[in-house]
Structure 1
Amino acid sequence: MTTREPLLRIALISEHASPLAKPGGVDAGGQNVYVAQVACALAALGHHVDVYTRCDSIRLSACAFLRSRVRVMHVDAGPACFVPKEQLLSHMPAFARGMRNAMEHAGRYDIVHANFFMSGWVGMALQRACALPLAVTFHALGLVRQQHQGSADGFPQARIGIERRLVHRAQRVIAECPQEREDLLRLYGADAARISTVPCGVDLAQFGPRNRVAARRRLGLPQDEFIVLQLGRLVPRKGVEHVVRAMALLDARMPARLLVVGGESRQPDDARTPELGRLRAIAQQCGAAQRVVFVGQRDRQELADYYAAADVFATTPAYEPFGITPLEAMACGTPVVGSAVGGIQHTVVDGVTGFLVPPADPAALAERFARLHANAALGEAMGRAGMARVRSLFTWDQVAQGLVKAYREAIASSCEQHAGARPQLQRTARTLSLGAVA
């Protein structure tokens, strides 16, 4: 008879990316989906999960249930309104104090899992003050971001130092793909023995194969066009402009349309989503305006129809820590053409589930689109291969099981580190500042 391991009480920290936010906005993307799905998948295994996120609206209650055994705790830290994540670091001491106060009523956790470097700072403060084991998922690494964005990177330089401390202080660092693991080792000097590689996942109950003809009919799309889909946050680093330029390079006789889904509002609004205006100007300049349709923001329950209606999904960032949208497209049986960077080169198998192309290469994109248009059977075969790959490797249940294994390793490591020291750590002063975990 095997002994069942105890269920865990888990605190997920996601300071700027609430699991309750609608996707597609400037600061609402893959991390929001990740945190929501991880929390629900962990709860489905029987664990109790509290997600701590910043209160960014006076209309939010202090606590909301996402599902059974998953609470979303809204922490007062800075003004109760939207603040760009690049400007949130100074509010993290208040977040840490608010979270610790909430913990006095919520009870003690077995593990803290921080998401993003600022949540990691909060996690280190709690690790020090409460002797709590800490796991961290970065979702993006500052040094990698700086390599690609240079002066356009709006985060404070302090980010790099915080990430370096996290890499060496967290009991477990969660890499989302092999490329991120390599970056942690090469750029941050991480200890390979403390890195767990656990990918993102896809909700197969929400994203799965469906009839393309019916999906197009529901969306009011023509049946005879070759449809390219780009879906996600509309910010320059996502590289949507390269897909726009690729549309202009297609044969003028080819009936093709690009759908761009995302933004801050359901009706496309250049004022609320500045990237829309920039993309419109690029489309006009390169002669693709008649082939590009800006759809606006859509709820998650609507997205499967867009994936199913498309002949191909395009994702062309300059860098991407992982990328959940390619998995969602693959789960719906749609081939993916993506940049050969980060997690995309792990999820998309070139020539099997789609194509990998160099970043910022519209000509390569256009060539792959034309190839799929000319060979419908190839696209269908890639769609079937993508569905099989997702089901075998990238379900949220598999992700949750991988995280629980990493959590238990972190807890065991923390027990070894703090043997006999916990009473002293619990008496640590409650004054928290940005220098407190330096």
Structure 2
Amino acid sequence: MKIALISEHASPLAVAGGVDSGGQNIYVANVARQLVEMGHQVDVFTRRDRALLPLISHMDGARVIHVPAGPPKQLPKEQLLPFMDEFAAFLIQFFRRESEPYQVMHANFFMSGLAAMKVKSALGVPLVTTFHALGRVRRIHQGANDGFPDERFAIEDELVARSDIVVAECPQDESDLVEHYRADPSRIQIVPCGFDADEFQPMERAAAREALGWHQDEFTVLQLGRLVRRKGIDNVVRSVSILKQAFRASARLYVVGGNSDLPNEIATPEIARLRGVANECGVAEQTTFVGRRGRAQLRYFYCAADVFVSTPWYEPFGITPIEAMACGTPVIGADVGGIRYSVADGVTGFLVPPRDPSALAARLDQLRRNPALGRRMGEAGLARAQAQFTWRGVGESLAQIYARAACLVPANTGADPLEMPMRAAAGTSFR
């Protein structure tokens, strides 16, 4: 098939770890690679965010098209909605110039979906959508700190109604689509995120710590990912303080991520806030901010840690817990969204309530006191990741969904995207 992956703010070429560079970037990059390996022709459309970028770059057999929409500079994704008409107009023009038509579009995030609906209206290309985050769910958790306009809700409503198939990343994502957007369950398919076994696999903890220059005998907690408030990293910092005060135990916390390779409070203001929390809690000397790291280096961090922790307020899926499991490291995660789906509580790690540092500290102490339990959980996590969460499996499931979607849409009707009828997809969910 000839497939268009649309990801307006999350380029597959970006370095993950920044404010707007994380799971979606990794998702799109790995889906594209898997589809190419399966023999499909893949183009990824993402917004041009630097003036010197070429129109077309190449990535492991896929083309990455840098769409001119808005100023060619990095902007917060919350500011990109006004440029989606321009984004859509470029897509329509580009699609029309291609010698062979696209058989399906896969929109990632609601703004990509907005542009894709216009393409579907003009050209009749089938549309599959993965939201990666839902506006109404985000608003529940972030309230006034949500920078997206209310207009997002109506766009998502229409996108749920007009997409030929909606991909949910976990059962909670499916439930949210039905509850908050009146989605038709028969048109939802569940496909999780994954990991690449070439990138993430176990190695001896001592060797990983030696490579990173870590002390061999410290109980070490790892937090890795985007440094934004909703990720709940302050919860992890506070848990290390409670571990110290209530359990009389010491732990070293490493925080990996940010907008620069060195921890910079100007480039990443969240670091300044978290340092303030660490100072307030008396664990500044036990908390190390590492900065952003490339994908090739992340395995060392996962393997070097005694435990990986991720306690966001909400999480549509969460790729980092899967990566940690793939490295044989136990995971303590918030009992929300996709983490609830990927982490088997009491088997591959523990689930704890978000924003509850005392509960997190108690589980940290349990693993600190029982290294054998941590090893067993790490081994179980590795087996679970390999069985259920590989990018290869994700690619195969999506390819089947694309083929089904391609059979659902008739020739171009020229209808407005908001006037197009809903079409139900047959078949069972990829669970």
Tell me whether the two structures share a fold, i.e. TM-score over 0.5. yes
Deviation at 1:255, TM superposition (A): 3.7
| Paired residues for 1:1-150 under 5 Å | 8-68=1-61, 70-106=62-98, 107-150=100-143
Q: 2:211 aligns with which of 218, 242, 265?
A: 218
Matched position secondary structure for 2:408: helix
- In 1, the alpha carbon distance for the partners of 2:323 and 2:138 equals 24
- In 2, the alpha carbon distance for the partners of 1:303 and 1:215 equals 10
- In 2, the alpha carbon distance for the partners of 1:222 and 1:338 equals 25
Amino acid at match of 1:297: R
- In 2, the alpha carbon distance for the partners of 1:314 and 1:168 equals 36
2:364 paired with 1:364: no
Deviation at 1:97, TM superposition (A): 1.0
Q: Sequence identity, in percent? A: 53
2:321 paired with 1:303: no
| Paired residues for 1:157-168 under 5 Å | 157-168=150-161
| 8 A Cα contact 1:232 1:325, kept in partner | yes
Matched position secondary structure for 1:196: strand
Deviation at 1:104, TM superposition (A): 3.0
Matched position secondary structure for 1:46: coil
Q: What is the aligned length?
A: 417
Deviations 1:282-326 (A, max 9, x none): 000011111100000000100000000000000010000000000
Deviation at 1:411, TM superposition (A): 1.4
Indicate the residue corresponding to 2:147 in structure 1. 154
2:378 paired with 1:383: yes
Indicate the residue corresponding to 1:282 in structure 2. 277
Indicate the residue corresponding to 1:315 in structure 2. 310
Indicate the residue corresponding to 2:179 in structure 1. 186
Deviations 1:168-189 (A, max 9, x none): 1000000000000011111111
Structure 2's unaligned 5+ residue stretches are 421-431
Amino acid at match of 1:79: P
- In 1, the alpha carbon distance for the partners of 2:97 and 2:124 equals 18
Amino acid at match of 2:339: I
- In 2, the alpha carbon distance for the partners of 1:148 and 1:52 equals 30
| 8 A Cα contact 1:224 1:255, kept in partner | no
Deviation at 1:412, TM superposition (A): 1.6
Matched position secondary structure for 2:129: strand
| 8 A Cα contact 2:220 2:306, kept in partner | yes
- In 2, the alpha carbon distance for the partners of 1:245 and 1:125 equals 47
- In 2, the alpha carbon distance for the partners of 1:298 and 1:94 equals 33
Amino acid at match of 2:138: R
- In 1, the alpha carbon distance for the partners of 2:400 and 2:186 equals 14
| 8 A Cα contact 2:236 2:311, kept in partner | yes
| 8 A Cα contact 2:243 2:250, kept in partner | no
Deviations 1:352-410 (A, max 9, x none): 00000000000011111110010000000000000000111100110011111111221
| 8 A Cα contact 1:125 1:436, kept in partner | no
Deviations 1:232-282 (A, max 9, x none): 000000000000000111136534100000001011110110000000000
Matched position secondary structure for 1:367: helix
Indicate the residue corresponding to 1:3 in structure 2. none
Taking only aligned residues, the RMSD between alpha carbons, in angstroms, comes to 1.4
Matched position secondary structure for 1:293: strand
Q: 1:331 aligns with which of 318, 326, 330?
A: 326
Amino acid at match of 1:246: S
- In 2, the alpha carbon distance for the partners of 1:155 and 1:275 equals 19
- In 2, the alpha carbon distance for the partners of 1:162 and 1:402 equals 26
Deviation at 1:436, TM superposition (A): 10
| 8 A Cα contact 2:333 2:350, kept in partner | yes
Structure 1's unaligned 5+ residue stretches are 1-7
TM-score, scaled to structure 2: 0.95
| 8 A Cα contact 1:15 1:118, kept in partner | yes
- In 2, the alpha carbon distance for the partners of 1:299 and 1:388 equals 25
| 8 A Cα contact 2:92 2:122, kept in partner | no
Deviations 1:317-356 (A, max 9, x none): 0000000000000000000001000000000000000000
